[in-house]
């Protein structure tokens, strides 16, 4: 146990249950006990250096978990430690789950990726600068739709539940929340990668209209439950709210909850009683609201590597998996916003870490498929090499010093430091 780490965190005013750091290393046969101790010690140092509130790590080889670690606190106020069962609001990895739902409907022949998304919405979505061109489902899933998170988007998020607002009010000219900057007029549709959160509300709304189900219920019934995941997109549907981690930022000399601080009580559903599917899929946060554990994300990666199969059940067809992970967009030096070299290639709801000449890698030279997230003090990662099965899940629920860039990597310094530790012990 790292005595220095514990005392430093105590002196920072953190409430503790005994010692802060809870060690939950799972016994995996491919890494011997002495090596596990070494890895744990090095990850402790990363936690200490960056003053992390807590983290969960899963390392995969050949598609199987060979090392797990769970450190720190899921909830300081209630003195709940992080464990293998802890769930987190995983931010933009949610987009991968939303894409799985869409691709299931594609598998069933109910959704055409190259159809105008307006067909599935009941209202028309057009970029005024390119009014003759259609915006397809594929464009939305690939971040090449020209849709932006315009100035009205934040206000829409604030009002959509209390005022029971329709998504059409955000995306149609004359709508209550529509703003001219919802669409870009610089590049034609399908040509330029620009990461968008608002577009995913359209995807969820289309899924509702096609399936006839609320988006939260669709994910529960067709993704989470078939894959035996503890996760849900609406925290009101979680089986154990005590396992949900609070997300933290260090503010006013203390760990300050940013989201999911429910104090042991399940929140109400985000959907009002009279809500009808297809009214506003943004309601459920298809862009970032999934709550999942690190073990859930391992199952996600394994399902992809197994060509859509999980525990004998075909979640997606092999063709659907190939569509998602294929490099539909590749940066050529001018055809996208890379977020500081982080985005070099993107498929459908899945990013490719090319690990070539740029900084988008976890392990040097290892190409990986997956997604990352950042929101409310959290950073999350779930990536796997589809051929070798080398993979990583990393979730951090808060950092005292925030997230500073690292040298030589597009990932933040705490993430890159953990990856560097793990890389040394890969087979």
pLDDT score of 18 more than 60: no
Report phi then psi at 31, rounded to 5: -120, 120
Q: Which pLDDT score is estimated for 5?
A: 36
Q: What is the pLDDT of residue 357?
A: 84
- Rounded Cα distance, 298 and 305, in Å: 11
pLDDT of residue 58: 98
Q: What percent of the chain has pLDDT over 90?
A: 92
Say if residue 374's pLDDT is above 80: yes
For residue 346, pLDDT over 50 is answered with: yes
Give the H/E segment covering residue 54.
strand 54-61
Q: Summarize pLDDT for 243-297 with one digit per residue, the tens.
A: 999 999 999 999 999 999 999 999 999 999 999 999 999 999 999 999 999 999 9
Digit-coded pLDDT (tens) for 84-110: 999 999 999 999 999 999 999 999 999
| Residue-level pLDDT at 1 | 33
Mean pLDDT of the chain: 93
Q: What average pLDDT does range 179-186 have in this prediction? A: 97
Is 299's pLDDT higher than 50? Answer: yes
At 62, give phi and psi (nearest 5°).
Answer: 55, 30
Say what the pLDDT of residue 11 is.
34
Per-residue pLDDT band at 367 (split at 50, 70, 90): very high
Contact 381, 372 (CB under 8 A): yes
Residues in the chain: 427
Interval 118-129: pLDDT, tens: 999 999 999 999
Instruction: Please give the CATH architecture assigned to the domain spanning 3-92+228-256+287-423.
Output: 3-Layer(aba) Sandwich (3.40)
pLDDT, tens digit (0-9, with 9 covering 90-100), for 241-254 = 999 999 999 999 99
Q: How far is CA 253 from CA 4, 15, 28, in A?
A: 19, 12, 39
pTM of the model: 0.93
CA distance 339 to 206: 28
Encode pLDDT of 187-203 as tens digits: 999 999 999 999 999 99
| Residue 423 and residue 363 in contact, taking contact as beta carbons nearer than 8 Å | yes
Contact 363, 426 (CB under 8 A): yes
Which of 91, 50, 78 lies closest to 257, judged by CA?
A: 78
Q: Cα(126)–Cα(223) distance, rounded to whole angstroms?
A: 31
Sheet holding 368-375, edge to edge: 80-81, 64-75, 54-61, 391-396, 378-384, 368-375, 351-353, 345-346, 329-330
Which string of DSSP letters, residue by residue, matches 166-177? Answer: -THHHHSTT-TT
Cα–Cα dist 97/110, whole Å: 18
pLDDT score for 256: 98
Residue 30 confidence (pLDDT): 76
What's residue 172's pLDDT?
97
Say what percent of the chain tops pLDDT 70.
Answer: 93
> 3-state class of 256 per DSSP?
strand
């Amino acid at each position: 146990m790292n005595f220095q780490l514990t005392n430093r965190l105590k002196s920072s005013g953190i409430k503790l249950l005994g010692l802060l750091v809870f060690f939950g290393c799972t016994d995996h046969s491919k890494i011997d006990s002495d090596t596990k101790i070494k890895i744990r010690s090095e990850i402790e140092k990363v936690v200490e250096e960056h003053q992390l509130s807590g983290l969960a790590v899963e390392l995969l080889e050949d598609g199987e978990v060979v090392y797990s670690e769970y450190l720190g606190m899921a909830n300081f106020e209630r003195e709940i430690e992080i464990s293998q069962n802890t769930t987190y609001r995983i931010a933009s990895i949610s987009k991968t789950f939303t894409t799985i739902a869409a691709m299931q409907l594609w598998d069933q022949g109910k959704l055409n990726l190259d159809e105008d998304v307006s067909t599935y919405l009941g209202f028309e979505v057009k970029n005024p600068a390119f009014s003759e061109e259609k915006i397809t489902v594929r464009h939305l899933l690939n971040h090449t739709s020209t849709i932006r998170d315009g100035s009205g988007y934040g206000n829409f998020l604030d009002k959509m539940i209390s005022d029971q607002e329709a998504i059409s009010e955000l995306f149609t000219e004359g709508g209550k929340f529509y703003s001219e900057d919802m669409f870009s007029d610089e590049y034609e549709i399908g040509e330029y990668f620009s990461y968008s959160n608002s577009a995913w509300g359209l995807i969820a709304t289309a899924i509702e209209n096609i399936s006839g189900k609320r988006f939260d219920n669709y994910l529960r019934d067709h993704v989470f439950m078939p894959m035996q995941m503890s996760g849900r997109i609406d925290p009101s549907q979680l089986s154990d709210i005590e396992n949900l981690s609070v997300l933290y930022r260090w503010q006013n000399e203390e760990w300050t909850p940013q989201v999911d601080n429910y104090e042991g009580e399940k929140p109400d559903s985000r959907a009002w009683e009279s809500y009808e599917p297809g009214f506003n899929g943004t309601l459920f946060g298809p862009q970032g609201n999934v709550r999942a554990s690190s073990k859930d994300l391992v199952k996600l990666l394994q399902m992809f590597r197994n060509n859509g199969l999980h525990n004998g059940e075909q979640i997606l067809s092999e063709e659907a998996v190939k569509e998602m992970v294929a490099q539909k967009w590749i940066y050529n030096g001018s055809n996208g916003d890379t977020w500081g070299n982080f985005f070099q290639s993107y498929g459908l709801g899945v990013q490719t870490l090319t690990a070539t000449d740029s900084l988008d890698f976890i392990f040097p030279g290892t190409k990986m498929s997956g997604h990352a997230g950042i929101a409310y003090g959290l950073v999350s990662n779930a990536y796997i090499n589809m051929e070798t099965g080398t993979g990583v899940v990393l979730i951090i629920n808060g950092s005292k010093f925030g997230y500073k860039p690292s040298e030589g990597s597009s990932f933040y310094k705490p993430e890159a430091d953990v990856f560097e530790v793990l890389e040394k012990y890969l087979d």
